[in-house]
Every structure is written in C-alpha cells, then in structure tokens.
Structure 1
Amino acid sequence: MKRFAALFNAIDQSTKTTVKVAALAEYFQEAPEEDRIWTIAIFSGRRPKRAVNTTRLREWGAEVAGIPLWLFEEAYPIVGDLAETIALVLPAPDTETDHGLTHWINALRDLSQVEEPGRKAFVLDAWASLDPTQRFLFNKLLTGGFRIGVSQKLMTRALASATDKDEAEMAHRLMGDWDPATTTWSHLILEDDPAANASRPYPFYLAYALEDEPQKLGKPTDWQAEWKWDGIRGQLILRDGKHFVWSRGEELMTDRFPELARARDFIPDGTVLDGELLAWGDGAPQNFNALQKRIGRKTVPKKLLSEAPVILYAYDLLEWGGADLRQTPLQDRRATLETLCASLPDDAPVRLSPTVPFDSWDTLAQTRTAARDAQAEGLMLKRSDSPYLTGRKKGDWWKWKLDPLTIDAVMIYAQSGHGRRANLFTDFTFAVWNGNDLVPFTKGYSGLTDEEFRKITAWVKKNTQQRFGPVRQVTPHHVFEIAFEGIQASSRHKSGVALRFPRMSRWRHDKPVQEANSLEDLNEMLKTYG
C-alpha cells in the first residue's frame, strides 16, 4: 500500500500532466504486476464493492478517535469526504504493515462474507497499521467510492511509456469486459489475447464543441454533416458468432437491448459499428424520453420492448471482415457502411444514420435550426478524409449543438458541495411561480465561477430560514438562468416536469424575484419541446 500511496500523492499534488504520466509510468514499471492490474482497474472505475456501510464506518471512526458521534457528524460535511474525515480524526498508527494493494483488495472482497464483529475487528486493525494517506485510500476502497483525477488518456500514455507500446494500442487493450481478479499484466497489456479481443470495443473518437463560426473550417466540400442524435452512443460488435453492445462509458449493455441480437442474422462476423442507440417508432427516431424508459433496466419486459423498441442508428464502420478500418478515410468507411445498410431488411435493428446535405455553411446553419424537429441536439461536422482516432481530438470532428433552452428560476434551497468545495454552497434547488406560490422543479450544481459560489455561500449563511439536515431553506431573493437540453413530463416531480442536463448559465442580478418564469411557461415549453 505504501507504493500505491506514494503514487497517489505524486498524482494528487501536481497539476502537470507530465509529472502524473511519469509517476504512473514508473509505478507500472516497478510495482508488483498484480498491483499494477488493480491500479489500472481502480483508475478505470472497476472498484471493489462496498464492504461496510457508511453508518458503521462513521460510528467506528468516532469510537476509535475518542470523540462523540455528533462531533464527527459535524466535521464530516466540513471536510466533505467520509474517507478523508476518518483518516483525519484517527490517532497515529501503533503498528506498521508492508502489505501491498492487492492484499487489501482481496481482503476487502472477502469481507462481505464475515459477520459484523469480524468486519469491525478487521477495519480497526487496518486503521491501526496504516498511515493517514494509506488510511484514506483504504477507506476509499472500503466504501467503493474511489475516484481520482486520472483520465483514461493519461493512463494509456503512462502505459505506453512504461511498455514502449503504441498509445492507441494501450487504449484499445483497456476497453472491454476484463476482470482484474482473473486477468494478468501479461494478458492485458503485453500478449495478444484472442478471447478478450472477441468482445473488446474500440476506444471511441470524441468531438470538441464548435466555438467559432463553421466558415473557419474551410471549404464545405471537405466536410460531412450529420445530425447529432440525443441517444446513447454505442458500438455494436459482431465476432465469433456473438454480438456485444458497448456504451461510450465502457459499459457492456448487450442484455439491455435484446433487439440487437437479430443483427447477427443480417450482418457478417468481423463487423464493428459505431452509432447511436435510439428509441424508434413510426419510421423515425423518438425523443430521449422514450429511450429513458429503457435506461437502467437489465431485463426488459415485452410490453416495454413493444412500446420503446431500440435500434442502432449507425454512422461509422470501424471493422469490416475482421479488418480494422480506423485509419481508412471517413468517406471510404462511409461508402462501405452505406453498402452494408442498403442490404439490410426494413425490420433490421440497424439502420443508416443519414448525412445532412449542404452546399454552403449558411445553408447548413439554417438546417441546424430544425434539429429539435428531427429529435437531434444539433449537427456533427466531420472532415471527409479523417481517420477514426482515439479519445477527444481537435481538428477533424466537431459537434455544433443548438443553444440550450433556458428559463429564469428562483433559488429556494442550498446545500454544501463535496471535496474542495465542501465549505461552499454549490448545490441548489430552483422554483418557478405557480400563482403566488413557488414550485420547485429542478436542481443545479454547476455553471458558476468559484468567486460566484463564494458570494452566494456568504449570502446563504446570512439568509437561512430553516435547516433540514445538510439542506438550508433560504429567503427567495436570487434569480438564476437555468440552461437545459430537454424537458419532459414527470409524475415524480411536484412541478410535473423534469429537465435534461440542467445547469446554472447565469446569475440574474438584474431580475427581481417577481419576474422569474412560471410553471405555465414550463408547460408551454413542454408542449413545444417535450
């Protein structure tokens, strides 16, 4: 654990990418191979399941620290992180251990089978033998909440440096459904593993938002335009007589979309398609509300399969006949994809996402204004000769989204944030007018600067009306412009509506509370955009 703690400190204490990459590369060269695998897994989000509930951890932490539980509970929201709070209040360790990361993870995985007295004894013994940083990391693993600022790109750069292999190859190897408990460093990083290759997706190519006018991209004839669909980005993989569906977030979703199994009847083995998973009805994509009924369901009842059938709207071909096409120009990949989709029957679960024709940037700008009518968020612009790269790259792919919908709302509740913002109020509940009453309808957590968060925090402390645990009810006084991507009816919300991706876009110092929008305004938006 000492080596892993030293790595954590090196990464946590620097903002320089080069320093982080160097620290990771050194670790991947020198740490035991089993610890390297678990480090990759942890930084990739493959965390052990929670072994002890947080209520017990708070009680045990207060007990070992010799402080009353109420005092611990008061300190917790100030620190903003349970693992860190416990690490800070515990006394100095009275022993020392040199167990590695894998030892602790294996012990935590076995802990779920132990009765509570045994779990408590194990946790207290661990706290007594670990220094503060190691305790913090142990607590993170214990709660299943380990998150640290290591991007997939940073990790693949470090692995490439440590192994003298290509960075894109490293990114590809880390994709897929590998298990740190059963794989080895050699199988995952060094050797070719045909079994893993069958289900492994390619790293997704991600676009940057277009900030300048599209005219700066050059001649329109060099570019392909497509609708930016509001669904779930995914890859459909057909290899070894099986099919696999992966989300952009590296989640295997094959069982959630059983309709796509029929793709094996029409599409040959050795094919990988990139596209958007969309609810489909009446010969066209449906809005995100229809798809949302399917999200989070691991099994889908027949009724829902009938009400919200899903297709893959394919817009790129990454593998064909078992050959990797990513370095082939987009226009050639697209031509092969069009030929493939033209051969599919009308009821196939895969369809071709059409391109958007245009002869000038002005024409395309006019077309873009109709994106919501097409159930899209805007447009994608892709250079016709572009390869399919790994991760987010500037130059060849751009997303040209519509401006968000906005509404002015009144802040009525505030809650402090976490981590570095634990001492600031950053999580707010907003309301609109319904007659003379304010009706809550959404929450917002982002969009303000640090200075604005400090100002609103000072105001909240002086204008709290009531406290409900960590939540404070405040005097209705401040109006904020709330930006969002979509709106839908919701029986779970008192307002009857739910917003998609709400955030604070502007603090309306110029607008009095009485001029905030109303529930009637929201319902009109629901009629238009819902």
Structure 2
Amino acid sequence: MKRFAELFAAIDQSTKTTVKVAALADYFSDAPEADKLWTVALFSGRRPKRAVTTTRLREWASEAADVPLWLFEESYAIVGDLAETISLVLPPNPTQDDRPLSYWIGALRQLRDMEEAERKAFVLECWRVLGGTERFLFNKLITGGFRVGVSQKLMTRALAQATGKPEAELAHRLMGNWHPDEMNWHALIEAEDASADASRPYPFYLAYALEAEPETLGDPRDWRAEWKWDGIRGQLILRDGDYFVWSRGEELMTDRFPELARAIDHLPPGTVLDGELLVWLPEADAPSSFNALQARIGRKTVP
C-alpha cells in the first residue's frame, strides 16, 4: 500500500489542482492495474463496507499500544479522528510492507466472514507490518470512512494525461454503477467503447464579456438578448436511444437529472440542446435559485 499512501499524501498535503492532477497522472501511469482500478473506485466513493466496529478497534488499539483504554479515549477526543489516533498511538514500524493496495482491499473484505478472535489477530498483524500513513489509510478503509479531496473532474483530467484519452470519454466510462469486482482496468479505461462517442458533447458556445462599447455592435435589431439565468450551463444529448447531461466544465451529470430522460420521447434522435439548466416549478412564475440545483447535485442518490 506504500505507493497508494504516497499518492494520498501528495493529494492531501496540497491545495493546488495542478499538483493533485500531476500526482494522480503519475500514479495512473505506473501503478499496478488492480491498484489503479481500486484507486478510481475509492476516489469515486465506492468504498468497502465497514468490517469491524469502532468499539472493537479502540479496544484492540489500546491493547496493542499498551495504554489504558481511558487514555486512548482521551487521546481520541483530542485528535478527533479514530483512524489517525490509532496510527499515532501504535509503536512505529521499522519495516516496509510492499504488498499492493489490491491485496489489502481483498484482505479487508474477508474480515466479515471471520470469527472475532481471528479478525482481531488479523487487524493486529496489519497494524504491526504497516507504516504510519499506510496504517491511517488501512483504518479509514476498515471503518468505511475513506474520503479524499478529489473530484470526478480532477480524476478524469489526470486519467486523460496518463492515458491520452479525451476527458469526455473517460467521464462517460466512469459513470454508472460499476464495481471493481465485476470490472478490470482494461475494460473500464482502455477497451474500445462506441457508446462513449454517442455521449460526447459539442464544444460549448459560451458568452464572453464585450471588449468594446455596446454601440460598436451595430443595429440592436440584428441581435437577440436573453436574461442571465441563475443556473448551470449544460448540454442535453439524445443519441442511440439514450440521454446524457454535461456541464460546461465537461462533467457528466446524467444521473443527477433523471427527469430529462423524458426528452427522448419528445425530441428526435441526435438532438443536442445547449443552454441553461434551471429548476422551474410548475406553479412558479420564475425559476428557483441556484441553491435548488446545488442541493440536487450534492445528493448521493436521486430517485
């Protein structure tokens, strides 16, 4: 897990997007394929389920660190993060375990089928052989609490740099309910995918600030003006019997707006609408604020 820990540290310790993209692109260029697949899954929110209760982890960590449970609990209250507290109180490990991320994911998933004594022995052994950052990540994974500050857009940008594939195609490949157990790196990222072409948006026809006075534009009757709506600029694409919704930042948002699937029944195949995506309730005289869109985008699932 050392290579994955190095990637996590590089991302976690920087606020610069360019640094994060470079670290991810470097990782996706040379990491083992199984590790790359699980990294994409983890960064997309596809985390293993919790295998051990936090109560048991606190008890086992207190025992392994040879500190009273009350002292461990006091330390936890100060640190505020269980995974970090455990990684800090355990004795340092002078050795370096070189088993890959995919091994540890597989091992964690077997924990649920173990008896508690066997489960405890396994966790204690993992803590013994892993280094500080690796322990922290192991603890995050075992509690189901792994999260990292990487957006889907940032990850597709890094994948594009590493693979040479267009960002729009990669975003399409990563959408949906795929799982690493049912997929490999080649099938997810590298294999030919004709459906990716069907989803690809046109370049956005964006508005720009005037570089001269309005009078230089000529006769107003030659122009058409519209309001600056408080929404999301996007494209709705209807191709091959399916629909796709893209933001102007080239982020695929189809699963956020299932209502737009109805457009397939009313518009001819091949239609592409480029405009502002708004929330406009039937009884309202004007569209809702941008906050309504933000709430929808921020939801984990949309019925």
After TM superposition, the score normalised by the length of structure 1 is: 0.44
Residue 477 of structure 1 corresponds to which residue in structure 2?
none
Establish whether residue 276 from structure 1 lines up as the match of residue 293 from structure 2. no
The one-letter amino acid paired with 2:281 is: W
Check the 8 A contact 1:76/1:82 in 2, yes or no: yes
The one-letter amino acid paired with 1:227 is: W
Establish whether residue 252 from structure 1 lines up as the match of residue 255 from structure 2. yes
Q: Which has the larger radius of gyration?
A: 1
Residue 2 of structure 1 corresponds to which residue in structure 2?
2
Establish whether residue 183 from structure 1 lines up as the match of residue 186 from structure 2. no
Structure 1 residue 134: deviation in Å?
0.7
Residue 145 of structure 1 corresponds to which residue in structure 2?
145
Alignment gaps of 5+ in structure 2: 218-222
Residue 66 of structure 1 corresponds to which residue in structure 2?
66
1:240 and 1:170 mapped to 2: Cα distance? Answer: 19
Structure 1 residue 252: deviation in Å?
2.4
1:180–1:236: structure 2 CA closer, same or farther, 3 Å change rule? farther
2:301 and 2:178 mapped to 1: Cα distance? Answer: 19
| CA deviation vs aligned residue, 1:450-495 (integer Å, no higher than 9, x gap) | xxxxxxxxxxxxxxxxxxxxxxxxxxxxxxxxxxxxxxxxxxxxxx
Q: 3-state SS of the aligned residue for 1:228?
A: coil
2:78 and 2:35 mapped to 1: Cα distance? Answer: 33
Give the structure, 1 or 2, with the largest relative contact order (CA under 8 Å, sep 6 or more): 2
1:203 and 1:120 mapped to 2: Cα distance? Answer: 54
Q: Quick check: which one's strand share is greater? A: 1
Check the 8 A contact 1:242/1:264 in 2, yes or no: yes
Q: 3-state SS of the aligned residue for 2:228?
A: strand
1:285–1:34: structure 2 CA closer, same or farther, 3 Å change rule? farther
1:238–1:137: structure 2 CA closer, same or farther, 3 Å change rule? same
Residue 228 of structure 2 corresponds to which residue in structure 1?
226
Check the 8 A contact 1:159/1:170 in 2, yes or no: yes
Q: 3-state SS of the aligned residue for 1:252?
A: helix
2:25 and 2:38 mapped to 1: Cα distance? Answer: 15
Check the 8 A contact 2:236/2:272 in 1, yes or no: yes
Aligned residues: 286
1:13 and 1:296 mapped to 2: Cα distance? Answer: 27
Q: 3-state SS of the aligned residue for 1:23?
A: helix
Q: CA RMSD in A?
A: 4.3
1:296–1:218: structure 2 CA closer, same or farther, 3 Å change rule? same
| CA deviation vs aligned residue, 1:22-44 (integer Å, no higher than 9, x gap) | 43333222211111122222233
* Within-5 A mapping of 1:44-443: 44-93=44-93, 97-167=97-167, 169-171=169-171, 173-194=173-194, 218=212, 225-229=227-231, 238-243=238-243, 250=253, 252-253=255-256, 257=258, 260-271=260-271, 273=273, 276=277, 278=279, 280-282=281-283, 284=285, 287=288
Residue 220 of structure 2 corresponds to which residue in structure 1?
none
2:169 and 2:128 mapped to 1: Cα distance? Answer: 42
The one-letter amino acid paired with 1:50 is: R
2:114 and 2:200 mapped to 1: Cα distance? Answer: 37
Q: Quick check: which one's helix share is greater? A: 2
Residue 468 of structure 1 corresponds to which residue in structure 2?
none
* Within-5 A mapping of 1:456-471: none
Structure 1 residue 260: deviation in Å?
4.6
| CA deviation vs aligned residue, 1:133-157 (integer Å, no higher than 9, x gap) | 1111111222232233444454344
2:244 and 2:110 mapped to 1: Cα distance? Answer: 31
